[in-house]
Amino acid sequence: MLKYIEELRNKLHHHNYLYYVKDRPEITDFEFDQLLSELVSLEKEYPQFFDMNSPTQRVGSSLSNSFETYNHKYRMYSLENSYSKADIIKWNERLEKNLNQKNLSFSCELKLDGVSVSLSYEKGLLKKALTRGDGIQGDDITENIKTINSIPLKLNGHVDYDFEIRGEVIIEKKDFEKMNQIRERNGDAKYMNPRNTASGSIKLINSLEVKKRPLKCYFFQIITENYNIFNQTEALQLVEELGFKTLKTNTFCKNIEDVFDYIDYWDKRKNDLNFEIDGIVIKVNNLDFQKELGYTSKFPRWAIAYKFATERVETKLLNVEYQIGRTGVVTPVAILNPVIINGTKVKRASLHNKDQIEKLNLHKNDYVFVEKGGEIIPKIVGVNINRRNKNSSKINFQDFCPSCNSYLVRSSNEAQHFCQNSKFCHPQISGKFKHFISRKAMNIDGFGIETIERLIKIDELNNFSDIYALSEQNLVSIDRMAEKSAQNLLRAIKNSISQPFHKVLFALGIRHVGETVASNLVNHFETIENLMNANFEQIISVNEIGEKIAKSLLEYFKDRDNKEEIFKLKVLGLSFKINNDNKNKPLNNLKFVITGTFQEISRENLKQKILFNGGSVSSSVSRNVILILGENAGPSKIVKADSYEIEKLSYSDFITKFKL
């Protein structure tokens, strides 16, 4: 019976591929449904033959997905953006210089405006699907991805190697229109645009609901160490041969002139496509060249995105409001008459600071020109003076905090204004709590923003130490939280006590003290007492600590309430010294500079390994550092290291030398 079930599964996989990928069905929908119904019955009768990649597993589940987070095996980088052909020419010149090659060839692809995903296949079977996340880790959306019929669960033929494949989940324009027609008939609000709808759909808790959405996925990159591919054009051919959906618009360009022809062609025809695009992706075609060029900390050097001219829209300025950040920074925000830009409704745009308001010479009820910076962040780029009312008054940056009415100050070397009433200004208080519980700080999972706001409102949260006094009873009664959720939150709060010293110091939210600064301070001073008692000269002697940071630290520790709060947190068990006596750690008193990329480990994880083992990390080469070299290391750092005659190690040499 197992053999027959397998034959039935393979037949359904094959017909699914013909219908959703090749658009060449060989059987009717009725015949397909009959085969699927037979398989469902057989799998119920013989549960011992369950297969997670069976065609029956596409139907979705009403169970909640927890969306656990996993590390990407290969980091998902962003793309550097360009906005003119001059930018592309400069990029090409850099490539030719770095490679010492002329007349490079390229692969050009339309840049779909959707949701990037990464799928892992082992021996031809889908194992895991992750969102991009922050590029280093993503959310597990495997169950939702399985509901997309164009994605194969099991590959055609015999595939004996493992690989990762990247794609973009989208909703095509015609499907999007049909969705909105149905919603309109049902009296529901219409969706705003295909991109946001696809993004929301892929993260729905109920995969039965995901199944109802007309999602498609087009693939553009395959990563494997077990198959010889020599260029991007071959890689795309392999992607298609394996049974994945690809765009038919991908083109090989033998030189940069061909690239410009491709850009010009699609610039005129982009609106005729049945899907949204936000530019062109240009990749060096030769994969050996890609490897040689490597990556910056954010982007691959061998690829760039060309963005079409930004849409500019005129709308009316209704008001200017002011936002207060956790450190007291006050940011003016323009409130606009709602307008659609690149398919998204825009109602607000940052004005950044007082200087920007004065530069634009804004008046009340002005008609302003709005663009999306990088097609993401709305910004006002000009004013239509011809439509200005002669009697309208000029908009002046306000002098007082809109929340607590404290006088706003601006130091001579700052662009922003600040509210200094940090202890009684509500947005600052709530912002500090949100920072304290965040993933990169104390990592208290399940502590929602609404819960924080409610607890602050009723005076249950005034200081960070109050978090550790919360009980299940007051969480359930105050926040109307389910008992299980309250228990999970309290467990997360308890677990946060084990966070290392540098995370705790970062969590305090001291102005200008980011993650790297916190780590460097901790490795230098080792205890909170040493740091609190340090003078200005001692603080600025620490690697990468300047006057601004030193003054901020001295001001923070001068405050009696801050010192009292640190004492309370210390009594509660939070770590304010380096654990395990840092002096016994293998990298004690050693400073490292990391350059290049590594197959074995991400740069961030390597940095954390150094910090955990007592070392410190610098961004610049000096006489007292050790250089860890990855692929495509920065040439300037190597030259400087050679001039200082300092030690250079590969990752494997580093691990071996220090026995890590």
Residues taking part in catalysis: 111
Angle at 29 between CA 27 and CA 33, to 5 degrees: 105
Residue 309's CB is within 10 A of a number of other CB atoms, namely 9
Helix (H, G, I), strand (E, B) or coil at 117: strand
Q: Are strands 329-341 and 137-139 parallel, antiparallel or unpaired?
A: unpaired
Q: CA 74, CA 80: separation in Å to the nearest integer?
A: 18
How many helices (H) and strands (E) would you count in the chain? 24, 22
Which of 405, 430, 435, 398 lies closest to 420, judged by CA? 405
**Dist CA 199 CA 192 (whole Å):** 12
Sequence-separated (6 or more) residues with CB below 8 Å from residue 234: none
Tokens encoding 150: 């164009």
Q: How many CB atoms lie within 10 A of CB 385?
A: 10
Per-residue burial over 19-48, b = 16 or more CB atoms within 10 Å of its CB, e = otherwise? bbbeeeeeeeeeebeebbeebeebbeeeee
Q: Is the dihedral of CA 178, 150, 241, 254 positive or negative?
A: positive
Please give the full DSSP string across 491-537, using - where no structure is assigned. HHHHHHTT--HHHHHHHTT-TT--HHHHHHHHHHH-BHHHHHT--HH
d(CA 414, CA 590): 34
Helix (H) or strand (E) holding 142: helix 142-145
Asked if residue 226 lies in contact with residue 161, where contact means CB atoms within 8 angstroms, the answer is yes
Helix (H, G, I), strand (E, B) or coil at 60: coil
State the Cα–Cα distance between residues 390 and 380, nearest whole angstrom: 21
With H, G, I as helix, E, B as strand and everything else as coil, classify residue 405.
Answer: coil
